[in-house]
A = this chain, B = another copy of it.
Amino acid sequence: MKTIEELQELIGKKIDGFCRKNGDGSIYQPINYIVQLGGKRMRPVLSLMAANLYSDDIDDAIYPALAMEIFHNFTLMHDDIMDNAPLRRGKPTVHEKWNRDVAILSGDAMMIQSYQLLMKTRPEILSDILKIYNQTALEVCEGQQSDMDFQCRNDVSIDEYMEMIRLKTSVLLGGSMQIGALIGGADEEGQKLIYDFAIKIGLSFQLWDDYLDAFGNDYETGKQIGGDIQADKKTFLMLRSFEKAGAEELAVLNKYLGQFDKGSEKVNAVLSVYRQLQVDNELKELVDQLHAEGLELLEKVPVDHDRKKMLRNFALSLKGRKS
């Protein structure tokens, strides 16, 4: 079985090959640029790990895993337009380096290319793979739409928030792992357990991101702490605080909502409310619970205990991470 580092190296090489084949036509330059910005390649790594659970030979799973990474980068390219984001992994976003239209069109082309990569698999399972992929891809779009819709709403519930992050983040991890497992030889029960494992771990991961944004250390995260608070982002912490707040806390929250020039004063005031209401502890408990539920599901996957070691360690490494 391959280690995470070996899988990352394998994927890196395949991405280099993908870019070489793309050449430097004007529609392909931004594609090669964004996929070579790096990142942890979490989706293809997880896809290959899922295949590796069932089979030592993961060759058949490599291109579909790559498809998940290309799809993910397509969503980043389009999301960055919508978020007016200037930077991605510390480098100019595609719409900044080129322009909006290039980012739209190269993104479109990437999605088509992801289907081309997905097809490089055994024909007898193509239809099953495509069904998982199409549903996953559509759900990711629905998640992004919900995220945008939430920005104009003041009545978002925690359930709705959890469903939004499930769609926006977790299903792509789930789809990647299910496709890997399917190619590796998992039956439907195994595929479902692995999919559900990825959903739980993904939710836990995303919620921990919310925590770090508020309570992390900016040296470790590399991001400005309190960015979500500054931007009035409707995170778990914010939504839950509004649910639990008494008159006093509500007054503080409402005072700073819509104020974008208060700097650390706003961040500190909102953080105190979070601590007073103990939503930080609630969030940590939820993160732990989802993580534990994920690991339980992994234990139920009907393959040899030893084969799950790598995936178990990976999941554990995500917990308590500081960045």
Contacts and interface: CB of A to CB of B under 8 A. Distances in A.
Given A111-B108, A138-B112, A127 B126 contact: yes
A144 B105 CA distance: 8
B108 A82 contact: no
Q: How many of these chains are in the complex? A: 2
A310 interface: no
Contacts of A111: 108, 111-112
Contacts of A26: 145, 149
A82 B109 contact: no
A126 B125 CA distance: 11
B134 A130 contact: no
| Chain A interface bracket (under 10, 10 to 19, 20 to 34, 35 or more) | 20 to 34
A123 B127 contact: yes
Interface string A88-120: 000000000000111011011101110110010
Given A111-B111, A123-B127, 6 more contacts: A78-B108, A101-B148, A108-B108, A108-B111, A119-B134, A126-B130
19 contacts: A25-B142, A26-B149, A78-B108, A82-B104, A102-B148, A105-B141, A105-B144, A105-B145, A109-B138, A109-B141, A113-B138, A115-B115, A115-B134, A116-B138, A119-B127, A119-B130, A119-B131, A126-B127, A126-B130
